[in-house]
Amino acid sequence: MTQSAQEWSKYLNQIQSKEEFQSLNWEGNFFEYLEMVKKDPLIARNAFQRMYDMVLTWGTENYVEYKKEITRYKFFDDPIDQGKDAVFGLDVQLMKLVNFFKSAAYGYGTEKRVLLLHGPVGSAKSTIARLLKKGIEQYSKTEAGALYSFKWIDPTGKGEPLFGGATEMMSPMHEDPLKLIPEEMRAKVLSEVNLNAKGDYKVAIKGDMDPASRFVMRELLKRYHGDWTQVIANHVRVVRIALSEKDRLGIGTFQPKDEKNQDSTELTGDINYRKIAEYGSDSDPRAFNFDGEFCVANRGVIEFIEVLKLDVAFLYDLLTASQEHKIKPKKFAQTDIDEVIIGHTNEPEFRKLQNNEFMEALRDRTVKIDVPYITKLKHEVKIYEKDFNSQKIRGKSIAPHTIEVAAMWAILTRLEHPKKANISLMQKLKLYDGKTLSGFSEENVKELRKEAIREGLDGVSPRYVQDKISNAIVKSEIPCVNPFMILNELESGLKNHALIASEERRREYRDLIGLVKQEYEDIVKNEVQRAISADEDAIAKLCGNYIDNVKAYTQREKIRNKYTGMDEECDERLMRSIEEKIDIPESRKDDFRREIMNYIGALAIEGRTFDYKTNERLHKALELKLFEDQKDTIKLTSLVSNVVDRATQEKIDVVKSRLIKYFGYDEISATDVLNFVASIFARGDVKKRE
């Protein structure tokens, strides 16, 4: 081997995990397994208990929203894949989901139900199901989630006729080894196993083995004249198993096909015709392939994609599987299963279920959890930032607020118009996002949510927005993608949107784009204003001047002019020019000024110095006043023309550098925003002259 090859060999040898492989491939006898279960009863948990414990393993966080305590389960951030399938903004719905698992884990009844995730297209139903499958697969590979099955062996190693000449036969449905214990012995074994059981679960043995294992046990008992312990000692080995969707072990997925191609054997398994000649009968369980999705998913979870599109024959299988935890393979008795059944469907299919009186049995055995679209802006932004960020987008930058305006429009399409006239749709969006608006309390927000019955069930899906952001990035001929490119792409795509049937709805969505453009104008105007007035020395100087005047005013004194040394009246014009920026009316100016002085006095008593940054309202007023004073000296509107003198250009460059430093712009996007805001001011100047 060359030196580099030896180095690679050494490196790969270091990073491989032999211990993990050995742990996942543990093998022992049945009596060792019994002792393990006695020491740690969690080994023998059922599928619902494992699912519930798996979610809790990743931890929780509690917070209060609208006076209601909400638990956020960190598992749904997808820590397994670093957030690849993270679910945002659905904490309340996910609480209901986990409560379903909790109830089922404790045997309170929901373990006999089909969990149905219901919502519009693109609302994360499939993502939640995918996360749960991924989570339980990963959990089975940890020590906390270890689970075991068994295999039949030929101790002679010559080939056992019972196994078709093979030396071993794995339990085809990966049953729990405890099912090997005969019915008449179970109560006594369980009393011994549960003697020192602690925690929430006690070991239970429910149901019988699969038909193939029952057949082998029956034949071996005949061979050993009914001595069960001899059968177990000589012919059974317990093995650790790891659930795997790819290997079809413990995780199943079923997707409906057209009615002509649907066959219920896809769920329950089918006869292996090649083995009939070997075993002599099509009713011999060893000639049966236990490879239907229900069989595959035993001990884990099965996902039904668009479950309500299933043929009626499939739905009958589903009813028995959920209520009785049994399936009926062809030519065999009912077979016990232990698995979580999750289905998801969209609204039109669910309405068909509600209107079909023949489906009453399924409705009765279904727990529906709504998975609506997100209605909080910050969560919608996270969805798009996951795909469109500096790590993924190469060669092009995305200007600040570009993703935000796309998310804003998506949210607006999902919100119901407020019934009260004193609130706009944009204000409603801000309230939902946690912003505070004058005159609105938490109770008002709760009331808004309560009156909007279908909010989040209609509107534009995140997929549409993702497609349009992607289009805008690809089509852009400049290295920076800005909000107007995205908004134009969103608008132009509406005419071909397959899920928007009416022209009225399209017109409504176009109007919302106008609303978002106006909001974006306000955002960037504010940022440019703050960048212009971000001279902290100038703000501090203005603040000192204001405070000196307020102090003199409230104490009925005159103020000394620093240049002339003469006592002068308070500068009422200065004070009002600042106060008016935050809508302090003439009638309230005395109260506001006393409030400021009381605040400064309270700080002085505590030995602290007043800082304008700690008073948000005053800080904003000072910034706006400074902007007004400096706006004309910087001559921002001159950007619209092509003639900019050197002194003005230097000032503009300072503003640009502040946009880059404080607001996340780059050189191109900062220049674009300054030009855009300059055009707004120029437009305003034209209107004033008119």
pLDDT tens-place string over residues 161-216: 898 889 999 999 999 999 999 999 999 999 999 887 777 889 999 999 999 999 99
Residue-wise pLDDT for 384-423, tens only, equals 999 898 888 888 899 999 999 999 999 999 999 988 778 8
The predicted-structure confidence for 17-38, as pLDDT tens digits, reads as follows 777 778 888 999 999 999 999 9
> What is the per-residue pLDDT across 408-467, written as a single tens digit (0 to 9) for each?
999 999 999 988 778 899 999 999 998 878 778 888 888 888 888 889 999 999 999 999
| Entry pTM | 0.84
Instruction: Please give the Cα distance from 587 to 577 (Å, whole number).
Output: 15
Amino acid at 383: I
pLDDT of residue 260: 60
- In the block, tokens 């079809």 appear at 248
Residues 502-525 have pLDDT tens digits of 888 899 999 999 999 999 999 998
**pLDDT of res. 258:** 63
The sign of the torsion formed by the CA atoms of 616, 617, 620, 622 equals negative
Give pLDDT, residue 637.
54
What ranges do the domains of the chain cover?
377-517, 533-632
Q: Please give the helix or strand (H or E) that residue 478 lies within, else none.
A: none
Q: Beta strands of 189-339 (E only): which ranges?
A: 236-241, 251-254, 270-271, 288-289, 301-305, 326-327, 335-336
pLDDT for residue 332: 83
248 neighbors 292 (Cβ within 8 angstroms): no
Which range, of 419-423, 582-586, 645-649, averages the lowest pLDDT?
645-649
Mean pLDDT of the chain: 87
pLDDT for 569 equals 85
pLDDT for 9: 76
> Residue 508: what residue type?
E
- What are 325-356's pLDDT values in tens digits? 999 888 888 899 999 999 999 887 888 777 77
Q: What CA–CA distances, in Å, run from 335 to 172, 313, 521, 684?
A: 12, 18, 65, 78
Is residue 641's pLDDT more than 70? Answer: no
Query: What is the per-residue pLDDT for 686?
Result: 39
pLDDT digits (tens, 9 = 90+) for 226-281: 999 999 999 999 999 999 999 999 999 998 776 666 677 888 888 888 888 888 78
Q: Which of 4-13, 350-359, 507-516, 620-629 has the highest mean pLDDT?
A: 507-516
Looking at residue 244, what is its pLDDT? Answer: 95
pLDDT of residue 74: 97
Q: How far apart are CA 298 and CA 652, in angstroms?
A: 68
